[in-house]
Amino acid sequence: MRLLPLALTLLVAIVLGLGTTLFMVTHSRGLDVVEAGPWRGWPRSGTVKADPYARAAVARSGELPLELADGLLFLAATDDTGQPIDGRCETRIIGVLPQARLWTLTVMDEDGRFIPNDAERYGLTSAEALYKADGKLDVRLAPRARPGNWLPTGARGRLKVALRLYDAPFSFASGAGDAATVLPHIVQEACP
């Protein structure tokens, strides 16, 4: 092969290969995804069985993933219909949570930073939450204070919600189908 086409081929290959690597480590947290409605979980990324994509993503971001024996993280960036969670709307997280010793719900911006607010209220824990008479949870994410379980959104355009279940008795040996069915719904209302 002649020199210039060869150089071009190599250039295309390197750009393509490293480009997909950059895309994967910034957009993916591993191949082993468990999906439950809008929620995504990566149970094996907190174990020695973590796949190469999970290891690469963790090394790049500097995160210490939750060890599976400790807890399990679920992230949601969209509502049930697939629309991105908009901090200017009133977003409700409604439903029943899986069995766990405790859970926490945290609101973050697109880059994973907490939403600044005077009360330093970045999330909700199972100890603080108020439950409805039927035992269901109803959390409202809104720019302005709401009665009940309210979390401030700072009117950010895009939000991410993290649900962490600690000491949860799941078994992921046979997939997370059972755990998946009981994660709460995310519904957006009153968008401006």
Partner 1 sequence: MSLFDTFTVRVPRPRAVKRRLGGWFGRQMARVNWLWPAGLLLPAAMALVLAGIAHIVSILAMPALAENNAFARLSEIVGSNDMKLLPDPTPNDAVLPMQDPAFISAVCLYDLNDKPLKVRVPATANYTSVSFYTDEGLAFYALSDQAAGKVIELDLMNADQKAALPEDEEITAADRLVIESPSEEGIVLVRAHVPDRGMREVVRRQLEAATCTSAN
Instruction: List contacts with partner 1 (CB under 8 A).
Output: 1-5, 8-10, 12-14, 16-18, 20-21, 24-25, 46-48, 50, 52-53, 55-56, 58-71, 73, 101-102, 104, 106, 112-116, 120, 122-123, 125, 127-128, 162, 164, 166-167
Nearer to partner 1 among residue 35 and residue 63 (C-beta): 63
Q: Is the dihedral of CA 83, 50, 181, 107 positive or negative?
A: negative
The closest of 114, 16, 35 to 75, measured between CA atoms, is: 35
Question: What is the 3-state composition of the chain as percent helix, strand, coil, each rounded to the nearest 5?
Answer: 20, 30, 50
Q: How far is the CB of 132 from partner 1 (least distance, A)?
A: 20
Nearer to partner 1 among residue 14 and residue 191 (C-beta): 14
Residue with tokens 């910034």: 26
User: Is the Cβ–Cβ distance between 30 and 54 less than 8 Å?
Assistant: yes
Q: How far is the CB of 178 from partner 1 (least distance, A)?
A: 22
Q: How far is the CB of 45 from partner 1 (least distance, A)?
A: 8
Nearer to partner 1 among residue 40 and residue 55 (C-beta): 55
Q: How far is the CB of 189 from partner 1 (least distance, A)?
A: 26
Distance of alpha carbon 8 from alpha carbon 21, whole angstroms:
20
DSSP SS3 for 117: coil
Nearer to partner 1 among residue 127 and residue 133 (C-beta): 127
